[in-house]
Structure 1
Amino acid sequence: MNNDIVTKNTKSLHRKLNILLRTGMVLMESAADTNRIVRNMQRVAAFLGLEERYLHIDVLYGTIKVNYSDETHSFSRFMHSDKYTINMNVLSAVSRLSWRAIREDYSIKQFERELNKIRKMKPQYPAWAVTLGTSLGCGGFSVLFGGDWASFVPATIAGAVAYVVRFFMLKRGFNFYMVTAMTSFVATLTAWLLFLALPTNFTDYPYHSFLCCCLYLVPGVALINFLDDMLDNYLHVGLARFANGVLQIASMAFGIILAVSVCSVDNFLKDLSMAPNISYGEAAIVTAISAMGFGMNFNVPRHSLPAVAILGILGMLLRNVLAFDLNVGLILGSLAGASLISLVAVRLVHHTRTPNHVISIPGVIPMVPGILMYRGIFGFVHLGNDVQEFMGAFSNLLNAALIVLCLSIGVAIPNIFARRWIAFSRKQELHRLIEDRRRRGKFVDFSLFD
């Protein structure tokens, strides 16, 4: 075959591999779990005419590699990025594009244009709305974890102040872990200053707002993705996500402990109750506020916010009934609540036109046990020679870890089973579309490179 033709075909294949890599990287940068990255890349590969049997996708943390080869040919590309943001709208948009491109027979140029639009897509919400929503979520945490409605106010104000600091520090390129530590320090310090400024009898639960004002920094998405990856056998990526989550928690704890030391606050965490002091109706309202607030922080599509609120309410109410009314415990209550959220989210996928993780994860976040994390870390920092204090601190950290694990399992395991059940028809449709494209000569032929 003419060398010019072979060179042209080689360039065309490299272009397709680069498009495939960019698709995967857009998902990775937006906090998609590895299974979602691979599934979307496989659909895009089918659109590009790349045979699944010749395609090899290797996902590492921050790096994606693709290889297209048979017994006599091999073409490889890889791409790396250090960018990481939680952007649920991008996950939803890429998923829709991967199906639309193959159904409507997009040209490669048309697909690239749409993908670039997604990469440059503006946030669903203005900065002030995200700040407000996130800070209201912090106020909601304070009420949900045992505070009263008065404690909602200082937690919200402190959360807003710290979020603004975080926004400008990230915009100026500061180290992410340093930003996390500084944000938690500013939030805790602001809550303490408000505690001094407000009347003594303003709230009966001042320390709840003191602790909940920066709970939006808890890496719930990273920890949920960690377990998803481990269950799907993407061990290296899962462990990297876990290490990243641990570093975020450590940075957050450092800022809080530094603020607590500056404020000379005693170890008040040992007896701080997490049992809610509000009715179920009030719990539903505040859960909806928190879930939608964090949904805005994660850039969930606007039309999906009501679903996020409903899922959050269902999960939280079930958790509270089991944990506090039936005395089953927070661990099993959290598992049941997260499982319910995941199962209902799977059923809402077609109604919301949104992947289930996009609406289930923000609904689960209000159940993250931040107070137990702080209580355990604070206990170890102020640990003396008392064995009982050591066991108390260890117990708090262990319970927090188990609850986070149960939240992750609740999101992941029902999703895995339900996804295999409801995805059968979609898989059949994909195979039909692939066979149609193969009949029309849309797939890469290795003989073109000889």
Structure 2
Amino acid sequence: MNVYTKKELTLLETPFDDIRRKMDLLLLLGQLLMENGANTNQILRDMLRAAAYMGINENLVHVHISYTTIMLNISDDSHAYTVFRKTLHHGVNMTTLSVLSKLTWKALEQSFTLDEFEKRLRTIAETPPRYPHGLLNIAAGFACGAFALLFGGTILSAWVTTLCAIIGFFVRTLCNRWEVNIYISIMAAAFAATTSAYLLHTLFASDAMIYAMISCTLFMIPGVPLINAVDDMINNHIMAGMTRAMNTFLIVGSMTVGITMALYFDRLSNFTSLSILPGQLYPLQLAASVVGAIGFSIIFNIPYRLLPLVGMGGLIAVAIRNTLLVYLGFSLPGATFLATAIISICALKASRYFRTAAPVLSIPSVIPLIPGVLLYRFLFGIVTINTLDTESLLHALRSGVTGITTIICIAIGVSIPHILASRYLDRAKHQRLLHLLQDRGAGHP
């Protein structure tokens, strides 16, 4: 543990001492959280904790968060400072989120100087992703192949799905490297993956290949933005949640356009009415849930040591949901909600032992429950509305309602620990924070 000099301790106990630097670091922390997939509650919580470490009382801190901008104001009766920071891109990096959350606590526990805090924060900002692009490509392919099995496909259709998803992921990577518009990139990747699946579907002439056509683009399903959008709105961060929801809608819409373009000449396949619910519980589905959860965990860049734990979480989530669907007659939203809630409570408990944030464990574990097919089945129905009869249109609308309801259930399920025990959790963290602040200067010269 470091020992503060008098000058360093004064800096960290006087709110407006070197305020410009402090605000710059707080905004950098918020920017990194936003760009790597944190929800608004997590951003606010970590920024306020870092401000407390810097000697700035939370009553002096005012933060406004939109999807592209973070505004920070620190003021009292005689001072007022306001700064903005743009969030340049949005992705998912669970390792970064976990490390940033730990940093704010370590700064207090290990008595970091402001120089050391800044050095570590900027090191995190410059750290490249944990997994190389090649491994991400393979992980995306296997995750989509697992979805094909979860939907009832065969081993052959899973391998075809894996190949087609790898092709689609490669196309999206090229588009991103060439700085193509994000939605055009998604459209191109969806077109490439679905075209490959359609060509292989005609080659093998097997009905099971249709599962490849509906699963090969699911690596692009914005599961984390979907969950964050609902989480923000139910926690009264309406504008941020609505913006996330609109971005999610545009991503799914871009996927739908790419898929529609690929299937324009296909007059035989009709995946809009294909059932994606299990008829019975197969061991192969449980194995697929493990592969799917680990595949998405790699895409989300979670720490290596947590991959087996998340794989087990995915297995438990799918096993609970499918058991409720098949044997107890639950609806898809109801079964998904219970499975997600159980996983979230287990993740909260496990996060203490594995020293990580609970969402790092819970979100990748429940991603295999995302009803992505229902969402873009709905949009596909809207795009082809001129060719739909009344029954098909109603089916598309029903898919959309069921899919959105299921997403809301997943988001609420992930938030269950905080919803049920928010006062206890917040009070415990606040007491811990006060204790560390009181002890910080005890050993200074």
Map of 1:96-135 to 2, 5 A cutoff?
A: 96-135=102-141
Map of 1:38-437 to 2, 5 A cutoff?
A: 38-198=44-204, 200=205, 204-261=207-264, 263-266=265-268, 268-276=270-278, 279-383=281-385, 384=387, 386-418=389-421, 420-437=423-440
CA contact (8 A) 1:146 1:276 kept: yes
Cα separation, 2, equivalents of 1:127 and 1:120: 17
Cα separation, 1, equivalents of 2:430 and 2:230: 25
Note the C-alpha offset of 1:386: 3.2
- Please list the CA deviations of residues 267-301 of structure 1 after superposition, one character each: whole Å capped at 9, or x if unmatched: 51244121336744222211000000000001011
Note the C-alpha offset of 1:149: 1.7
Kindly report the root-mean-square deviation, in angstroms, between the aligned alpha carbons of the 2 structures. Answer: 2.1
Aligned pair in 2 of structure 1 residues 377, 431: CA closer, same or farther (>3 Å)? same
Structure 2 unaligned blocks of 5 or more = 1-14
CA contact (8 A) 2:214 2:271 kept: no
Cα separation, 2, equivalents of 1:27 and 1:161: 30
215-224 or 368-377, which deviates more: 368-377
State the SS of the aligned residue for 2:263: helix
> AA paired with 2:296?
F
Cα separation, 1, equivalents of 2:169 and 2:88: 22
Note the C-alpha offset of 1:94: 0.3
Q: Percent identity?
A: 32
CA contact (8 A) 2:165 2:193 kept: yes
Cα separation, 2, equivalents of 1:174 and 1:89: 27
Cα separation, 2, equivalents of 1:357 and 1:10: 34
Note the C-alpha offset of 1:142: 0.4
State the SS of the aligned residue for 2:404: helix
Note the C-alpha offset of 1:371: 2.4
Note the C-alpha offset of 1:418: 4.1
State the SS of the aligned residue for 2:275: coil
Cα separation, 2, equivalents of 1:385 and 1:208: 22
Cα separation, 2, equivalents of 1:227 and 1:216: 20
Cα separation, 1, equivalents of 2:418 and 2:267: 43
Aligned pair in 2 of structure 1 residues 439, 49: CA closer, same or farther (>3 Å)? farther
Cα separation, 2, equivalents of 1:244 and 1:377: 15
Structure 1 unaligned blocks of 5 or more = 1-8, 442-450
TM-score, scaled to structure 2: 0.92
> AA paired with 2:370?
V
CA contact (8 A) 1:147 1:277 kept: no
Note the C-alpha offset of 1:373: 2.4
TM-score, scaled to structure 1: 0.91
> AA paired with 2:303?
P
Cα separation, 2, equivalents of 1:385 and 1:244: 27
> AA paired with 2:235?
D
Note the C-alpha offset of 1:123: 1.6
In the TM superposition, structure 1's runs of 4+ consecutive aligned residues that sit over 4 Å from their partners are 437-441
Cα separation, 2, equivalents of 1:370 and 1:274: 10
| Aligned residue pairs, count | 431
> AA paired with 2:73?
N
